[in-house]
Chain A
Amino acid sequence: MNSLVVKDLCKTYVINKRQNNVLRNVNLEIKEGEMVAIMGPSGSGKSTLLYAVSGMDAPTAGKVSFFGRDISSLNASEMSDVRLDEMGFIFQQMYMLKNLSIYDNIILPAYQSKHGKGRERRAKINCRAKELMQKLGISEIAENDINEVSGGQLQRACICRSLINHPRMIFADEPTGALNQQNSREVMRELNRINAEGTTVMLVTHDMKVAAKTDRVLYIEDGNIKGEYTFGKFTSEEETKERERQISAWLMEMGF
């Protein structure tokens, strides 16, 4: 089954009475359990594409089908429910609410969901949150404020938050963009693990090391997908170098 099917997607901004066509008739499909990276030069429309297909931004034209549902036809409340229960988001800037502890930030979407009401359900949510934090190695920062932890820890906390409601698909906008190499590796390890557990992942990146750990890379330029490179499943760190070399060559071919 396809997680995401995008048909003739267009997005146009009007700035100072000038029309700017950021996405032009984009078509793509992402299968369930697949991990896809979007690459391309600055201003090519990578993030716009991510936000448009995830329902964060309304497309100007075209159709986005998320697990068989046309999300462009959903109203604001229905879209909120989809985001809450079926999607997870990870941002480059690791946004979290400043007034809440790391732990409370993580469990907030779960408590908000319709499955988060009642003593027993909330106990289960807490178990899951602790399990996730343990898996991602950030148990010790649970009660910290968001400005008391490193960028890598914060991004892993964001991943925990995105996973707390068992999403069917994760959307990540440059998830390692603000991290150092070590933190970046750790975050990608977690995303690969999540993907290996069956969650579809779509991410935007500039980093070839990140792209090398995905199943497929889409190259976008001038608002359109110009090509794709399929690796197959990423299984071990040893493959990284070779995949990186391959993708580098392909990107050069694409003119990146």
Chain B
Amino acid sequence: MFFRILKKDLKRKRTMNFILLLFIILATTFLASSVSNMMAVTGAVDYFIGISKVPDYFTIALTDGTEDTIADYLESNREVAEYEVVDTFNVTDDRISILEAADEKADKYERTNTLVIQAMPENFMKAFDREGKPIHLKNGEIAFSKVEAEENHLVVGDRVSIRVGEIEQEFTIAAITKDVVFGSPMMGIKRLLITEEDYKKFAKQENLTHTNIYCVNYADEEAFKADWKKQDFNLITNIEKNLVSMCYVMDMLIAGILIIVSICLILIAFLVLRFTIVFTLQEDYKEIGIMKAIGMREAGIRGIYMIKYFGISILGAVVGLICSFPFGEMLLGQAIVNLVVENAKENYLVHVLCAAGIVGIVLAFCYSSTRKLRRFSAIDAIRNGSTGERYQVKNSLKLWKRKRMKPHFYMACNDILSAPKRFVVLMITFCIGTMLILLPLSALHTLKSDGIISQFSMSPSDVYIDMGHGDAYVAGKKVEVIQADLNELEETMREHGVEAETGADVGYLIPCYASDPEELYNYMTLQEIGSWDRSYDLLDGREPVLANELMITEITAEEMGVSIGDSVYFQYPDGVEEFVITGTFESMMNMGNGYRVSRAANLREEYMSGVFVLQAEVADMESGEAYERIKDIFPNYKIMNAQECIDGMIGDITKQMDMLIYAITGIVLVINSLITVLMMKTMMTKERGDIALLKSIGLRNRSLRSWQMSRILLLLVAAILLGTLLSKLLGPVTVGQVFAMMGAAKIKLRVNPVEAYLIYPLLLLAVTGVSAFLCAGGVNNVDVKEVNVE
């Protein structure tokens, strides 16, 4: 009899059982893929650093390839456990020609940054292909940096030619790299990799500019660092292993968003499961009551349901488990494009455990829901768990008080207000979906906002110019070279009838301390040069004016333990120079660290580390017009607007975020539609009697559809409003924290109101509305006779 009841139940309630099965599949897919992704993403940077073999410390210096004092120093230093000098040589745009490319846009090669060519690394700082697999090159093959490839519209299979000195060789692009240090958008040097044999052909020539990378693993970290500070090497930059992860702060922003998405999906999975089980069991109350009434034991009754739910949950968990692999990989692949993450398949145990967890949760929910039945008498259960006693009016919404409201709209409002618990899952799902779109959108809009350039220690200008002389500035260590370029720019523009002021921020890397000369900080000091005189954003105090004044970022001030009015000291081998702090500012350059001195300050040119970009402010012209005009005047220079300049600094993070937001929007729309359809189906199955009754008193199918749809749309509108409000409130503690990590703790998050408050909400309403409309068509299938089938 036990199995006959079970068999009959499965057959008769196949709609509800099928819906339950779908929800379990959905929950398993979400849970398994989200937990696995969270694990992969949380340790993604460390994992990438680990498998790439980033040394404890590395420094980069320009050499002529003849003598190497740094290598000699490292060789003789006892605090060094292991080191390697990685030789590279620099190439300029005109050394690379595109021979054959799939994309028609690929034409003249333009490098994005300082570009070096290196033999495939064997020990330190290995590179991987886009799938995260090791790269094996053959002679005549080259592995391209992603940034360089994208900028020049190159893909795997395209052919390029490299001519350096007397040697010219053709290469086929065999891979686009994921490169932990040089692939980071924050790193100013990009590298192309070729085989050792091909490399030697080029490198043996004289008169090449070499950039050497010195990779060091410490024997004694403290002792090495103390001794290193005393050396006076001519370095471009030096980086500690733990700082590499900071290069990926933008990717961490995306990883952070992915974690939020995952948490939300898990939350949705649990809510949906609980709702479905409670809802389907309520459907069975009547039958449970009848079984009780005829004397069946509680254990027996519960056994029927436990076996039924166990069977459905096993089936759902297995299907969900299978779906979770492609779903998780799709989500991860959309989000993490610069990092190598652990393959989801390697996390299969996590997926299996999550699926098992879902089975356990389903059974636990089932057990606790059926346990409630003990409290009910047989007749209470028959009354669907209602005792028939209610002493409070359910709600204050009365139809007779509505002078204009359409009845179907009233019924929708009334349903929500009188049984809000029923709709809470939908409401939370919609609300989470809205937040999932709006939070990353605020990060994107902030990065795209006009004022963002000020957050990068720069004064906004009409155009930003890269003449391609960056290497020369660093090698020459002469401010007058930069000034000459600025003068040339102004002169040429004047010749073309464009009056403009020009300027640039020259960066210096001078060791600095506050009170303890042993505790040195090596952050960038900026100084404005050029014909213009700009003011810079401050958080507090005033800009430096005198030769011995500077302003400092809040992060550096905090780290050094200084404030406005205190002094800091620039340490040179032959003495120190004192500077008084006049103000504080914040910057996303150099992870929020740095100083700015006045034009009057005399900084030593040998400490110059370069200029990121030259700037021009055109008189009597709008920025857009000036941009186009200057592009025409200087066809050989890289002319950028503010956004392109930012992209140059932080990589194509805005494009990446655009893609991620599209992916999230797609996922949210699918989830909204799926949950809407499943919930509506569930509710309509329970409401067939009501629908039939309303048909019997003359309500048209159109009105009934509107009733069903109105509920969903009302919830959606409320959820969008709530989600928007919560996004506004939670923005500073979520997205704002990522900006704070980058040095902009006080940044104001911006949103484009048309996009955030109109386009996306309308998109959500349209897609979810269409799903609700299609699903509400199910009322047509309810026969008016079903009024007798409650």
Q: Which residues of A contact B (CB under 8 A)?
A: 51, 56-57, 76-77, 80-85, 87, 89, 91, 93, 95-101, 103-104, 107-109, 111-113, 116, 118-119, 122, 126, 129, 143, 145, 147-148, 161-162, 165
Would B414 and A100 count as touching, CB distance under 8 A?
A: yes
7 additional A-B pairs beyond A97-B411, A116-B407, beta carbons within 8 Å, are: A82-B698, A83-B695, A93-B790, A99-B394, A99-B419, A111-B410, A145-B393
Whether, in the assembled complex, B350 has its beta carbon less than 8 Å from a beta carbon of chain A, the answer is: no
Contact of A80 among B388, B693, B695 (CB under 8 A): B695
Smallest beta-carbon distance B413→chain A, Å: 10
Contact of A77 among B388, B403, B418, B702 (CB under 8 A): B702
**Alpha-carbon distance between A122 and B399 when the two chains are bound, in angstroms:** 10
Chain B residues whose CB sits within 8 angstroms of the CB of A82 once the complex forms? 698
**Alpha-carbon distance between A103 and B410 when the two chains are bound, in angstroms:** 14
Contact of A112 among B388, B398, B703 (CB under 8 A): B703
Chain B residues whose CB sits within 8 angstroms of the CB of A107 once the complex forms? 399-400
**Alpha-carbon distance between A145 and B393 when the two chains are bound, in angstroms:** 8
**Alpha-carbon distance between A165 and B698 when the two chains are bound, in angstroms:** 11
Chain B residues whose CB sits within 8 angstroms of the CB of A91 once the complex forms? 696, 787-788
Would B398 and A56 count as touching, CB distance under 8 A?
A: no
- Quick one: given A104-B399, A111-B399, A111-B407, are A99 and B415 in contact (CB under 8 Å)? yes
Would B407 and A112 count as touching, CB distance under 8 A?
A: yes
Would B399 and A57 count as touching, CB distance under 8 A?
A: no
Would A147 and B390 count as touching, CB distance under 8 A?
A: yes
Whether, in the assembled complex, B785 has its beta carbon less than 8 Å from a beta carbon of chain A, the answer is: yes
Would B403 and A122 count as touching, CB distance under 8 A?
A: yes
Tell me the B745-790 residues at the A interface (CB within 8 Å).
780, 783-785, 787-788, 790
Chain A residues whose CB sits within 8 angstroms of the CB of B701 once the complex forms? 76-77, 80
Q: Which 4 pairs from chain A and chain B are nearest by CB? A: A84-B698, A83-B698, A104-B399, A80-B700
Main secondary structure of the interface of A (DSSP, over half): helix
21 A–B contacts, CB within 8 A, in A order: A56-B696, A77-B700, A80-B695, A80-B700, A81-B698, A84-B697, A85-B698, A91-B787, A95-B790, A97-B411, A97-B694, A98-B690, A99-B394, A99-B419, A103-B399, A108-B411, A111-B407, A122-B400, A122-B403, A143-B393, A161-B697
Smallest beta-carbon distance A80→chain B, Å: 4
**Alpha-carbon distance between A57 and B696 when the two chains are bound, in angstroms:** 10
Tell me the B667-715 residues at the A interface (CB within 8 Å).
689-690, 693-703
Contact of B398 among A89, A101, A122 (CB under 8 A): A101
- Quick one: given A80-B698, A107-B400, are A56 and B390 in contact (CB under 8 Å)? no
Whether, in the assembled complex, B368 has its beta carbon less than 8 Å from a beta carbon of chain A, the answer is: no
Chain B residues whose CB sits within 8 angstroms of the CB of A51 once the complex forms? 784-785
Would B785 and A97 count as touching, CB distance under 8 A?
A: no
Whether, in the assembled complex, B237 has its beta carbon less than 8 Å from a beta carbon of chain A, the answer is: no
**Alpha-carbon distance between A97 and B704 when the two chains are bound, in angstroms:** 13
Chain B residues whose CB sits within 8 angstroms of the CB of A126 once the complex forms? 400
Smallest beta-carbon distance A17→chain B, Å: 17
**Alpha-carbon distance between A25 and B703 when the two chains are bound, in angstroms:** 35
Main secondary structure of the interface of B (DSSP, over half): helix
Whether, in the assembled complex, B372 has its beta carbon less than 8 Å from a beta carbon of chain A, the answer is: no
- Interface readout for B380-408 with A: 1 if CB under 8 Å, 0 if not? 00000010101001100011101110011
**Alpha-carbon distance between A175 and B699 when the two chains are bound, in angstroms:** 22
Would B697 and A119 count as touching, CB distance under 8 A?
A: no
**Alpha-carbon distance between A98 and B395 when the two chains are bound, in angstroms:** 12
Q: Which residue of A lies closest to B787 (CB)?
A: A95
Smallest beta-carbon distance A55→chain B, Å: 8
Q: Which residue of B lies closest to A112 (CB)?
A: B407
The winner among B400, B402, B407, B418 for most chain A CB atoms within 10 A is B400
Smallest beta-carbon distance B409→chain A, Å: 11
The winner among B703, B783, B788 for most chain A CB atoms within 10 A is B788
Q: Which residue of A lies closest to B384 (CB)?
A: A98
Chain A residues whose CB sits within 8 angstroms of the CB of B411 once the complex forms? 97, 99-100, 108
Chain A residues whose CB sits within 8 angstroms of the CB of B780 once the complex forms? 76
Q: Which residue of B lies closest to A145 (CB)?
A: B390
Smallest beta-carbon distance B706→chain A, Å: 11
Chain A residues whose CB sits within 8 angstroms of the CB of B394 once the complex forms? 99, 145
Smallest beta-carbon distance B402→chain A, Å: 8
Would B703 and A56 count as touching, CB distance under 8 A?
A: no
Chain A residues whose CB sits within 8 angstroms of the CB of B703 once the complex forms? 112
Chain B residues whose CB sits within 8 angstroms of the CB of A143 once the complex forms? 393
**Alpha-carbon distance between A84 and B408 when the two chains are bound, in angstroms:** 14
Chain B residues whose CB sits within 8 angstroms of the CB of A122 once the complex forms? 400, 403
Chain B residues whose CB sits within 8 angstroms of the CB of A89 once the complex forms? 696-697
Chain A residues whose CB sits within 8 angstroms of the CB of B400 once the complex forms? 103-104, 107, 122, 126, 129
Chain B residues whose CB sits within 8 angstroms of the CB of A118 once the complex forms? 404
Chain A residues whose CB sits within 8 angstroms of the CB of B698 once the complex forms? 80-85, 87, 109, 112-113, 165
Would A99 and B418 count as touching, CB distance under 8 A?
A: yes
Chain B residues whose CB sits within 8 angstroms of the CB of A87 once the complex forms? 698
- Quick one: given A76-B701, A93-B788, A99-B415, are A83 and B399 in contact (CB under 8 Å)? no
**Alpha-carbon distance between A85 and B780 when the two chains are bound, in angstroms:** 20
Q: Which residue of B lies closest to A87 (CB)?
A: B698
Would A80 and B699 count as touching, CB distance under 8 A?
A: yes
Contact of B785 among A56, A83, A148 (CB under 8 A): A56
**Alpha-carbon distance between A57 and B692 when the two chains are bound, in angstroms:** 12
**Alpha-carbon distance between A236 and B248 when the two chains are bound, in angstroms:** 93
- Quick one: given A99-B418, A122-B403, A147-B386, are A76 and B700 in contact (CB under 8 Å)? yes
Smallest beta-carbon distance B384→chain A, Å: 10
Would B696 and A148 count as touching, CB distance under 8 A?
A: no
**Alpha-carbon distance between A95 and B789 when the two chains are bound, in angstroms:** 11
Would B414 and A99 count as touching, CB distance under 8 A?
A: yes
Smallest beta-carbon distance B367→chain A, Å: 28
**Alpha-carbon distance between A51 and B388 when the two chains are bound, in angstroms:** 30
**Alpha-carbon distance between A87 and B790 when the two chains are bound, in angstroms:** 22
**Alpha-carbon distance between A232 and B386 when the two chains are bound, in angstroms:** 45
Chain A residues whose CB sits within 8 angstroms of the CB of B410 once the complex forms? 111
**Alpha-carbon distance between A120 and B693 when the two chains are bound, in angstroms:** 27
Smallest beta-carbon distance B166→chain A, Å: 87
Smallest beta-carbon distance A107→chain B, Å: 6
Chain B residues whose CB sits within 8 angstroms of the CB of A148 once the complex forms? 390
The winner among A118, A129, A148 for most chain B CB atoms within 10 A is A148
Smallest beta-carbon distance B315→chain A, Å: 28
**Alpha-carbon distance between A80 and B694 when the two chains are bound, in angstroms:** 10
Would B697 and A108 count as touching, CB distance under 8 A?
A: yes
Smallest beta-carbon distance A13→chain B, Å: 11
**Alpha-carbon distance between A126 and B767 when the two chains are bound, in angstroms:** 39
**Alpha-carbon distance between A95 and B785 when the two chains are bound, in angstroms:** 12
Chain A residues whose CB sits within 8 angstroms of the CB of B696 once the complex forms? 56, 83, 89, 91
- Interface readout for B472-508 with A: 1 if CB under 8 Å, 0 if not? 0000000000000000000000000000000000000
**Alpha-carbon distance between A81 and B690 when the two chains are bound, in angstroms:** 18
Would A84 and B393 count as touching, CB distance under 8 A?
A: no
Smallest beta-carbon distance B240→chain A, Å: 65
Chain A residues whose CB sits within 8 angstroms of the CB of B694 once the complex forms? 97
Chain B residues whose CB sits within 8 angstroms of the CB of A129 once the complex forms? 400
Would B690 and A97 count as touching, CB distance under 8 A?
A: yes
Q: Which residue of A lies closest to B692 (CB)?
A: A95
**Alpha-carbon distance between A126 and B388 when the two chains are bound, in angstroms:** 28
Smallest beta-carbon distance A210→chain B, Å: 19
Smallest beta-carbon distance A148→chain B, Å: 6
Chain A residues whose CB sits within 8 angstroms of the CB of B402 once the complex forms? 111
Would B784 and A95 count as touching, CB distance under 8 A?
A: no
Chain B residues whose CB sits within 8 angstroms of the CB of A77 once the complex forms? 700-702
Q: Which residue of A lies closest to B397 (CB)?
A: A104
Smallest beta-carbon distance B279→chain A, Å: 15
Smallest beta-carbon distance A221→chain B, Å: 22
**Alpha-carbon distance between A91 and B696 when the two chains are bound, in angstroms:** 10
